[in-house]
């Protein structure tokens, strides 16, 4: 618990088992789950390759135009299914085991040269010192955001308690953004000579802000097209107060209402992402630019390590050379040993892309930015899971293309449609998974998920964007940072 906060415990608290005991039980349970998963995977794989008798699996002749094909219309054999399941379980257990090992070592390390933000080291340095009450300063980078900035600032005013200070970082604005921000009673910081987009604008503002920030003076960065749900700041302050080793808190984001079918596709995608993070107990992949609260120590350490442990220009908090500054600063904090989370109670509502063209530009920047950041950081313990995640995305692209290709071949090869019970059952399980994972998104989300194929087409679209990013990187094509012109926002200001 942070110094200056009440250390008293209620009777109910005293009745609970000590926190360390609960943590030990949880760790033991997670370890047993990983061990059981690996054992099951190994057992299935061993059974599949150990010469178990298998039924004859003769292919069938067929033609596709002038081509002669051999195919098997039957369900995969039990041995094949066991081998595939065994490999998948072993891979999942391996990734979980390595990630858990790396996280544990980072938390327990006090090596200031290699992990200056490790929780153990931070706790040692801040123990026994009163750092004052927790304050919150919000930076809102904005470039021509006159359509959305009003709702964003309104959501900040409605927080209980509200932030101590709000600063709109106006970057080369030519519309009424500055005028609207000032009319809302917040400070405006106008950038000077910035040519590095959002990252450059934030660096200018943080250069002026950070020197006066103490250990408990939190800095929150949020997009100008995002609104906070009630209780975001209060939850973040409570988390930071309870854990001095915590360096950053990211928000779980949901899509705004409207924009028709393309908007619903994105809302379903965001709902599944938020669900995944909740199941991971807040362990975050990316501190998104929608809203993230940082401890000043974390930002200062990142700036100090640029050009040494981290890529980028020495003294810059955000790397101005990357396409996705939020993904990059997440990697930077993890490399430095920083503890970061995205708790379920810190949620925001953000914009969705209104057109397929805008979605293409946004996702191309995200995908290529993530790949370039990984290439810049290389293979390190902190980036291991991200590399595994990219391998998973690549496998997903191949699997989806193969699935749709086989569907096309089957439809053009058979004289009549044939229903295979095995694949019908597999499709039903997949459909149920689609519906369950967006259940919190409401009936529209469930209805779209139940139809299955529209979401597969949407996934195919994103896969093509992913491949485009890889091709652009391979041929050395210069990336661009495109600004999406805002339409009048439908983000809930009263959320």
Going along the chain from its start, the domains and CATH numbers come out as 20-100+378-480 (no CATH), 132-354 (3.90.550.10)
Report the mean per-residue pLDDT for the chain.
83
133 burial level (CB within 10 Å; 0-12, 13-18, 19+) = middle
**Cβ–Cβ under 8 Å, residues 404 and 460:** yes
% of the chain exceeding 90 in pLDDT: 42
- Whether the predicted pLDDT of 51 surpasses 70: no
| pLDDT at position 7 | 36
Report d(CA 166, CA 232) in Å as an integer.
15
Report d(CA 328, CA 69) in Å as an integer.
48
| pLDDT at position 493 | 39
Residue 495 tokens, joined: 């959320």
- Range among 106-110, 111-115, 440-444 rated most confident: 440-444
- pLDDT digit string, tens, across residues 340-370: 999 988 999 988 999 999 999 999 999 889 8
- pLDDT digit string, tens, across residues 297-320: 999 999 999 999 999 999 999 999
Residues contacting 187, CB < 8 A, separation 6+: 165, 166, 167, 168
| pLDDT at position 97 | 80
If we measure between CA atoms, which residue out of 219, 213, 230 comes closest to residue 166? Answer: 219
**Cβ–Cβ under 8 Å, residues 62 and 70:** yes
Reported residue count of the chain is 495
Q: What is the DSSP string of 279-333?
A: HTTT--S---TTEEEE-HHHHHHHHHHBTTTBSS-TT-SS-TT-S-HHHHHHHHH
| pLDDT at position 64 | 64
Higher pLDDT pick, 177 / 398:
177
| pLDDT at position 102 | 76
- Whether the predicted pLDDT of 13 surpasses 50: no
- Whether the predicted pLDDT of 490 surpasses 80: no
How far CA 271 is from CA of 87, 99, 160, 438, 490, in Å, comes to: 29, 24, 25, 6, 18
H helices present in 337-380, as ranges = 356-377
Instruction: Calculate mean pLDDT across residues 54-79.
Output: 65
| pLDDT at position 225 | 87
Report d(CA 291, CA 326) in Å as an integer.
10
Indicate the pairing of strand 339-341 with strand 246-250. Answer: parallel
Q: Which residues of 192-201 are buried (b: 16+ CB within 10 A; e: fewer)?
A: eebebbbbbb
**Cβ–Cβ under 8 Å, residues 251 and 292:** yes
Instruction: Calculate mean pLDDT across residues 210-228.
Output: 93
**Cβ–Cβ under 8 Å, residues 277 and 284:** yes
Indicate the pairing of strand 252-255 with strand 347-350. Answer: parallel
Q: Which residues of 359-396 are buried (b: 16+ CB within 10 A; e: fewer)?
A: bbbbbbbbbbbbbbbbebbeeeebbebbebebeeeeee
DSSP state of 2: -
H-helix or E-strand spanning residue 349: strand 347-350
pTM value is 0.80
> What band does 65 get if pLDDT is binned at 50, 70 and 90?
low
Higher pLDDT pick, 105 / 223:
223
| pLDDT at position 74 | 65
Reduced to 3 states (helix: H, G, I; strand: E, B; else coil), residue 385 is: helix
Q: What is the DSSP string of 246-290?
A: EEEEEPEEEEPS-SHHHHHHHHHHHHHHHHHHHHTTT--S---TT
Report d(CA 135, CA 369) in Å as an integer.
32
Higher pLDDT pick, 474 / 52:
474
Lowest mean pLDDT among 9-18, 155-164, 272-281, 367-376: 9-18
> What band does 173 get if pLDDT is binned at 50, 70 and 90?
very high
**Cβ–Cβ under 8 Å, residues 187 and 208:** no
| pLDDT at position 11 | 41
| pLDDT at position 28 | 67
| pLDDT at position 12 | 40
How far CA 180 is from CA of 190, 354, 396, 441, in Å, comes to: 14, 24, 45, 32
**Cβ–Cβ under 8 Å, residues 345 and 235:** yes
Cα-based angle 415, 419, 420 (whole degrees, multiple of 5):
120
State how far Cα 210 lies from the chain centre: 26
**Cβ–Cβ under 8 Å, residues 3 and 130:** yes
| pLDDT at position 10 | 40
Q: What is the DSSP string of 16-37?
A: SPPHHHHHHHHHHHHHHHHHHH
- Whether the predicted pLDDT of 1 surpasses 50: no
Structure-token match 């590095």, residue found: 196
Higher pLDDT pick, 278 / 305:
305
Instruction: Calculate mean pLDDT across residues 117-123.
Output: 91
Instruction: Calculate mean pLDDT across residues 90-110.
Output: 78
% of the chain exceeding 70 in pLDDT: 81
- pLDDT digit string, tens, across residues 411-466: 787 776 677 777 778 889 989 999 999 999 999 999 999 998 899 899 989 989 98
Left (φ > 0), alpha (ψ -120 to 50) or beta: where does 82 sit?
A: alpha
**Cβ–Cβ under 8 Å, residues 252 and 344:** yes
Reduced to 3 states (helix: H, G, I; strand: E, B; else coil), residue 174 is: coil
Report d(CA 490, CA 494) in Å as an integer.
11
Report d(CA 292, CA 159) in Å as an integer.
15
Higher pLDDT pick, 14 / 33:
33
Report d(CA 53, CA 287) in Å as an integer.
51
């Amino acid at each position: 618990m942070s110094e200056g906060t009440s250390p008293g415990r209620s009777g109910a608290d005293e009745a609970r088992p000590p926190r360390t005991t609960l943590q030990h039980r949880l760790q033991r349970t997670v370890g047993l789950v990983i061990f059981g998963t690996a054992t099951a995977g190994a057992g299935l794989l061993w059974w599949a390759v150990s010469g178990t008798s298998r039924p004859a699996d003769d292919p069938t002749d067929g033609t596709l135009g002038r081509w002669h094909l051999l195919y098997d219309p039957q369900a995969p054999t039990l041995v094949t299914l066991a081998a595939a399941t065994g490999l998948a379980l072993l891979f999942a257990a391996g990734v979980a085991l390595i990630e858990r090992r790396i996280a544990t070592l980072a938390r327990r390390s006090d090596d200031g040269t290699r992990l200056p933000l490790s929780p153990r080291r931070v706790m040692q340095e801040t123990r026994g010192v009163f750092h004052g009450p927790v304050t919150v300063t919000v930076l809102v980078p904005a470039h021509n955001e006159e359509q959305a900035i009003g709702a964003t600032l309104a959501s900040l005013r409605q927080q209980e308690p509200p932030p101590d200070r709000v600063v709109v970082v106006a970057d080369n604005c030519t519309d009424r953004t500055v005028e609207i921000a000032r009319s809302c009673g917040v400070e405006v910081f106008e950038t000077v000579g910035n040519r590095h987009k959002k990252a450059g604008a934030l660096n200018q503002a943080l250069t002026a802000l950070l020197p006066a920030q103490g250990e408990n003076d939190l800095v929150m960065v949020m997009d100008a097209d995002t609104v906070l749900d009630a209780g975001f700041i209060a939850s973040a302050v409570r988390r930071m107060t309870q854990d001095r080793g915590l360096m950053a808190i990211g928000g779980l984001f949901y899509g705004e209402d409207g924009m028709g079918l393309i908007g619903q596709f994105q809302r379903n995608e965001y709902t599944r992402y938020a669900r995944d993070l909740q199941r991971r107990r807040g362990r975050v992949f990316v501190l998104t630019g929608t809203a993230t609260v940082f401890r000043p120590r974390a930002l200062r350490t990142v700036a100090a390590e640029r050009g040494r442990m981290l890529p980028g220009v020495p003294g810059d908090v955000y790397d101005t050379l990357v396409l996705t500054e939020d993904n990059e600063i997440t990697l930077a904090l993890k490399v430095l040993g920083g503890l970061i989370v995205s708790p379920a109670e810190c949620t925001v509502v953000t914009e969705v892309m209104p057109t397929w063209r805008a979605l293409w530009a946004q996702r191309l920047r995200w995908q290529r930015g993530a790949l370039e950041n990984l290439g810049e950081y290389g293979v390190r313990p902190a980036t291991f899971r991200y590399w595994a995640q990219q391998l998973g995305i690549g496998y997903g692209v191949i699997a989806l293309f193969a699935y749709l290709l086989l569907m096309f071949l089957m439809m053009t090869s058979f004289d009549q449609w044939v229903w295979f019970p095995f694949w019908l059952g597999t499709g039903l399980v997949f459909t149920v998974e689609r519906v369950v994972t967006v259940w919190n998104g409401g009936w529209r989300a469930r209805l779209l998920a139940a139809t299955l194929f529209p979401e597969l087409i949407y996934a195919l679209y994103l896969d093509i964007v992913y491949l485009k990013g890889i091709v652009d990187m391979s041929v050395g094509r210069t990336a661009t940072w495109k600004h999406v012109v805002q339409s009048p926002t439908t983000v809930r200001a009263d959320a």
